Amino acid sequence: MGTQTSITFQGLGPGAPGGRNALMNPERGLRFEIGTGRIASDEVKQGADSANWPFRQWLADGVSVGQGYCYLTQFHNSPISDEKLVAIQRDFDILRGLGLGAKFLLRFAYESDGVMHGPTAEQICRHMEQLRPVLDRNWDVIYVLQIGWVGLWGEFHTAIQNTENDPAKTAMIVEGTLDLLPPDRRTMMRRMAYKKRNLETLGCMEEVTAETAYSQRPAARIGFFNDGTLAGVNDGFTFPDPPYAAPGNWEFDYLCREAPYLPVDGELFWTLHDAPTAEESRLPYRGLDMTYCSAQKAIERFRLHHYSTFSYVHGFSGLEKPIYGTIDAWKETPITAEELDAGNFPYSPDYFAGAERTAFEYIRDHLGYRLEALQARFDSSVTAGGRMRAEVTLVNRGFAAPVNPREFYFVLAHPDGAVYEIPTFINAQTLQPYQPGDESYTLLEHSIAVDARLPADLPAGEWSLGLWMPDARASLRLRPDYAIRLANRIEWCDWEGRGVNRLGTVRLGRAVP
C-alpha cells in the first residue's frame, strides 16, 4: 500500500471563474420548450424549430435539456409520413451535434388549441410502432420519453376521441409507451391519479420503494410531470381534491413518497395577464400576484418533490413573451444563507462567499443533482502491479438524484496519453440528497471508493488521478459534454474524450521483479 494523501475541496462559489453562471451538466436543470421534427405540413407549430433552438443564447444558465414537442396532428388517421420520420432524425442529429450535453425530454402529441381532430388509441399504438426505429437509434439523447399522446398538448385530458375516459384504451397506450423504452430509460405521466388508474387496469399497481426503484417493474418506470406547477391552490387541477397542492392530498403525498426514485419535471402556466400598467409597475413584482408562486414556495416544492427539470419558458419574459412573469420575479427576489438555513435547504458554504444571490440563481443551480466533493483520500505513491486505494466523499446539494444510470470511475492519466480506468460499480442514481422520508432533510454523505490492483505494465512516472462520471451509453461515453462536473473549484480535464474532475497526482513506481 502507498502513502495516503488527503485533500479537502472548496465548493463552487461566485468568485470562481464563471462562478455566477450555472454549472453546465447533463440531464438536469432548467429546460427549453422546442419543436422537434418540424415539417411544413405540421398543423401545430409549438416551440422554436431546430434552426432557432435557444441553447447557445442561454449558456450562462446551463440549459442542456429541451422539452421536445413532436406534434403528429396531420397523421391522426394515417401513417406518419417518411418526411416526418426523416425530420425527427434530423433534429436528433442536430441536438447531438450541439456539443452541449443536450438531450430531449420528449413528448409526442396530436391536439392543441384549435385542433378539431384527434387519433384513436389504436392509431396512436400504430404510430408507436412506426416511431420505434427512430427512437431506438436515439435513446442516447432522450433524457425521458413522456407518456403524452392523448388530449390537449399530450396531457391526458379533453381528448377529441374522449380516450382518457376509457381505462382499457389508456392502459393500452401506457403499456405501449413502456414497451418502447429500453431498460435504461423511464417515462412520466401528467398526474399521479393517471398513473395509479392505469397500473390498476394493467394489474400491476404498487408504490415504488427503495427496494423496487430503478427496476423494470412498471411502477418504477413512470415518473411525473406537473404542467401546472404553482398555478393556484391546486396547481392547475393537478391536485384537484382538498387540501389541493399540499400535504394531505392523496396524489401530493403519493408523489412525495415516490419522487426520490423517479424523474420529475414541471412548468408554470403560460403568462395570461396583460403587461403591467404604469401604476402596477411601481408595485413589488410589478403588481404580480405571487400568493402561490413565490420563490420560497417554488424552492420548497422543488425539494419536496425532487424536481430534476423545470421550464425556463413559461413565465419568463425573455423566452415566452415580453411581459413580466413569475420567473422574472424570482430573478428579482434576493435569497440569503439565513433564509436557506431556516428551512435546512442545501447549499455549499462557498455558494454565497460575500456575494448577493437571487432565488432564481438558487433554483437554477439546485434543480436535479448538484454533486460536490468534500474530501478525497488516495495513495499518492503506488507500484505497478500493486494495489491502489482511492476514496472521494460526495454530497448531493441538489433537489434530486441523477435520473438515468451512470457509473463512477477513478481514472489515471499519464502524460504520454495513456489512460487507465478503475470502475467503482456505484450507480449515480443512488446519490440521494437526503434520506427519503427524512423531514429534517439532513444532507447525506456518499463514499465513492476503490481498492484495486493495477496492471503490472503501467509505465512508471507521475499520473493524474480524477473522478469520471460518463454517460452510460457507448455513443456518448467519450463525450466530455455528457459527463458530470462536480460543483467544486476542481480542474476539469478532457483525457482522451473523458470529461474528468482532476483530484491530484499519483507517483507510480515500477513493479519489483
Residue 57 phi, psi dihedral angles, 5° rounding = -70, -20
Confidence (pLDDT) at 338: 98
Distance CA 461, CA 237 (A): 63
**Residue 186: which residues within 8 A CB-CB, separation 6 or more?**
144, 220, 221, 222, 223, 262, 263, 403, 404
Q: How many other C-beta atoms lie within 10 A of the C-beta of residue 363?
A: 23
Confidence (pLDDT) at 511: 74
CATH class of segment(s) 4-8+370-509: mainly beta
Q: Read off the amino acid at residue 230.
A: L
Q: Compute CA 468 distance to the chain's CA centroid, rounded to the nearest angstrom.
A: 19
Report strand pairing: 419-427 vs 407-413: antiparallel
Distance CA 70, CA 79 (A): 15
- The position carrying cell 430531449 is 104
Distance CA 72, CA 70 (A): 6
The per-residue b/e assignment along 229-259, b for 16 or more CB within 10 angstroms, e otherwise, is bbbbebbbebbeeeebbeeebebbebbbebb
Q: How many other C-beta atoms lie within 10 A of the C-beta of residue 270?
A: 12
Residue 12's closest CA among 4, 23, 2, 1? 23
Q: Please answer whether residues 126 and 180 qualify as being in contact, where contact means their C-beta atoms are separated by less than 8 angstroms.
A: no
Confidence (pLDDT) at 414: 97
Q: Is the peptide bond before 243 cis (omega within 30 degrees of 0)?
A: yes
Q: Please answer whether residues 44 and 115 qualify as being in contact, where contact means their C-beta atoms are separated by less than 8 angstroms.
A: yes
Report strand pairing: 4-8 vs 371-379: antiparallel
Q: Please answer whether residues 482 and 25 qualify as being in contact, where contact means their C-beta atoms are separated by less than 8 angstroms.
A: no
Distance CA 114, CA 92 (A): 28
**Residue 461: which residues within 8 A CB-CB, separation 6 or more?**
414, 415, 507, 508
Confidence (pLDDT) at 3: 82
Distance CA 162, CA 360 (A): 39
Q: Please answer whether residues 434 and 444 qualify as being in contact, where contact means their C-beta atoms are separated by less than 8 angstroms.
A: yes
Distance CA 233, CA 481 (A): 40
Domain boundaries, the chain: 4-8+370-509, 26-185, 267-368
Q: What is the DSSP letter of 153?
A: T
- The position carrying cell 488521478 is 465
Residue 95: all three cell numbers together: 441536438
- DSSP letters spanning 261-317: GS-EEE-PPPP-SPPPPTTGGGSGGGG---TTT-HHHHHHHHHHTT--EEESSTT-T
- pTM over 0.85, yes/no: yes
Report strand pairing: 103-109 vs 142-145: parallel
Confidence (pLDDT) at 188: 99
Would you write out the chain's pLDDT as a tens digit for each of its 513 residues? 558 999 999 999 999 988 999 999 999 999 999 999 999 999 999 999 999 999 999 999 999 999 999 999 999 999 999 999 999 999 999 999 999 999 999 999 999 999 999 999 999 999 999 999 999 999 999 999 999 999 999 999 999 999 999 999 999 999 999 999 999 999 999 999 999 999 999 999 999 999 999 999 999 999 999 999 999 999 999 999 999 999 999 999 999 999 999 999 999 999 988 999 999 999 999 999 999 999 999 999 999 999 999 999 999 999 999 999 999 999 999 999 999 999 999 999 999 998 999 999 999 999 999 999 999 999 999 999 999 999 999 999 999 999 999 999 999 999 999 999 999 999 999 999 999 999 999 999 999 999 999 999 999 999 999 999 999 999 999 999 999 999 999 999 999 999 999 999 999 998 766
- DSSP letters spanning 26-71: SS-EEEEEEE-S--TT-S---SB-GGG--GGGGGGGT--EEEEEEE
